[in-house]
């Protein structure tokens, strides 16, 4: 007797977010001599269910067992790769997805998954190739996930015309896909084709009324067109559609601060609430998104002569690895002025404390972090680094060790292409905490 009815029921439970119920049903469906046609999907569903209940260790054990038993089944290899991916084991995840490509070269999902892992590894050129193979398949229409990922990668590289063509190609096949329509509208707005962008957002709102992302990006486009009152009105609609969206609150608060007749308390309340929400979410906020919101809040305060408050936002953002190059540049220009020549020094810093500050993890004894610092010489780079770190960790019980590496040659100051502010220019990666 086929397990297909039970498997369909299990898949439905997982789609509905009932992973615990799915696991119980999976246990009752197991039999020692199942045929491969039932056992393969059973393995894949069980691996997914364990991942969704947070039991990643057992999911990995089951994934490896399934891959040993069915080493040429792409679905099994993809499931194993997904477990590694969830566990942040990126190289094993890449290897599993690439094995799935070897046994099924036309499969779009494994190519997309390889691209996603490569992008997180910082290998953008290879990621783009993988996304394009998933997007340009001869055997299936463009894959929506690959379309979104490829478009975002191209936009991040400022290849806007290429990104617009990707979205346009997808919409030929699926002209009413709301999320891709929004992405296409964002790209058109970035290019400066504002009226076309507004048409895209209007189409989305005709399909999905109160679509928060469409409203937000329509407001941004109105603002770029100089239609400030309309932009603020539309951003209020976006806020009503998604009241706890930090970026919407930050941008709306910033615009209201710049409006002459705005309620100052309301504007500041929105700006500060946006920043608070970044730390209120149960899951860690993606650093890139948090940095975008933090920069919007910082800029709103700095531009409206609330510089002490902006510096405090930058300090907290620095503690959480949310600080951005723009925030560094603004602060450095104010503190150190502009330089016409400098060297970009790579700095490794180690912070240690017997009693961890409250913003460190509870059992942490310290952390290491990497920085890029613009300075005239190594001593100045070390000074800038220590001044920055002490602003983040003012407690006298925190101690720092700084290693400065001069890139190439003699490490002498080099002319800059244009004047730049001296000081810490960028954080390289996230803090790596360690136990005492």
364-422 confidence digits (pLDDT tens) = 999 999 999 999 899 999 999 999 999 999 888 899 999 998 765 444 556 667 788 99
Query: Could you give the CA distance from residue 193 to residue 221 in angstroms, rounded to a whole number?
Result: 10
- Mean pLDDT for the chain? 91
Query: Could you give the CA distance from residue 255 to residue 297 in angstroms, rounded to a whole number?
Result: 11
Beta strand 398-405 pairing with 364-375: unpaired
Report how far apart the first and last C-alpha atoms of the chain are (Å, whole number).
58
The structure tokens 């770029």 sit at 224
CA-based nearest residue to 186, from 241, 247, 108: 247
Exposed, middle or buried: residue 6 (CB in 10 Å: 0-12, 13-18, 19+)? middle
Start-end ranges of CATH 1.25.40.10 in the chain? Answer: 176-238
Low-confidence residues of the chain, pLDDT below 70? 1-2, 32, 280-285, 407-416
Residue pair 121/130 in contact (Cβ under 8 Å)? The answer is: no
CA-based nearest residue to 128, from 136, 46, 243: 136
Q: Which two tokens stand for residue 292?
A: 């975008």
Q: What is the pLDDT at residue 408? A: 55
Please give the class, per CATH, of domain 176-238: mainly alpha
Q: Which residues contact 71 (CB under 8 A, 6 or more apart)?
A: 77, 99
């Amino acid at each position: 007797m086929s397990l297909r009815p039970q498997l369909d029921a299990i898949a439905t439970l997982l789609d509905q977010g009932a992973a615990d119920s799915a696991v119980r049903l999976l246990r009752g469906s197991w039999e020692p001599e199942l045929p491969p046609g039932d056992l393969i999907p059973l393995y894949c569903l069980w691996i997914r269910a364990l991942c969704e209940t947070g039991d990643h260790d057992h999911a990995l054990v089951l994934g490896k067992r399934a891959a040993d038993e069915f080493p040429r089944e792409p679905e099994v290899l993809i499931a194993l790769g997904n477990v590694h991916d969830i566990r942040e084991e990126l190289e094993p995840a890449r290897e599993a997805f690439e094995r799935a490509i070897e046994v099924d070269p036309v499969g779009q999902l494994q190519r997309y998954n390889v691209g996603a892992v490569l992008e997180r590894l910082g290998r953008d050129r290879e990621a783009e190739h993988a996304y394009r193979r998933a997007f340009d398949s001869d055997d299936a229409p463009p894959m929506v996930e690959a379309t979104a990922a490829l478009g975002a990668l191209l936009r991040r590289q400022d290849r806007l015309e290429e990104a617009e063509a990707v979205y346009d190609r997808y919409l030929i096949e699926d002209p009413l896909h709301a999320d891709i329509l929004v992405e296409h509208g964002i790209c058109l707005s970035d290019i400066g084709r504002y009226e076309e962008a507004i048409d895209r957002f209007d189409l989305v709102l005709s399909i999905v009324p109160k679509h928060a992302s469409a409203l937000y990006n329509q407001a941004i486009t109105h603002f770029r067109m100089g239609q400030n009152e309309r932009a603020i009105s539309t951003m209020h609609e976006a806020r009503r559609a998604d009241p706890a969206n930090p970026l919407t609150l930050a941008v709306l608060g910033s615009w209201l601060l710049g409006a002459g007749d705005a309620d100052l308390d309301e504007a500041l309340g929105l700006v500060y609430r946006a920043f608070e929400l970044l730390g209120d979410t149960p899951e860690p906020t993606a650093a890139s998104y948090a940095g975008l919101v933090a920069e919007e809040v910082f800029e709103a305060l700095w531009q409206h002569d609330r510089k002490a408050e902006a510096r405090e936002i930058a300090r907290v953002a620095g503690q959480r690895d949310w600080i951005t190059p723009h925030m560094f540049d603004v602060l450095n220009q104010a503190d150190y002025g502009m330089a016409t020549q400098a060297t970009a020094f790579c700095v490794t810093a180690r912070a240690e404390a017997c009693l961890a500050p409250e913003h460190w993890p509870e059992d942490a004894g310290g952390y290491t972090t990497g920085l890029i610092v613009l300075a005239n010489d190594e001593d100045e780079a070390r000074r800038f680094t220590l001044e920055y770190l002490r602003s983040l960790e003012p407690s006298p019980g925190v101690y720092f060790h700084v290693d400065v590496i001069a890139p190439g040659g003699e490490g002498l100051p080099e002319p800059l292409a244009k004047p730049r502010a001296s000081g810490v220019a960028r954080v390289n990666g996230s803090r790596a905490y360690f136990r005492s």
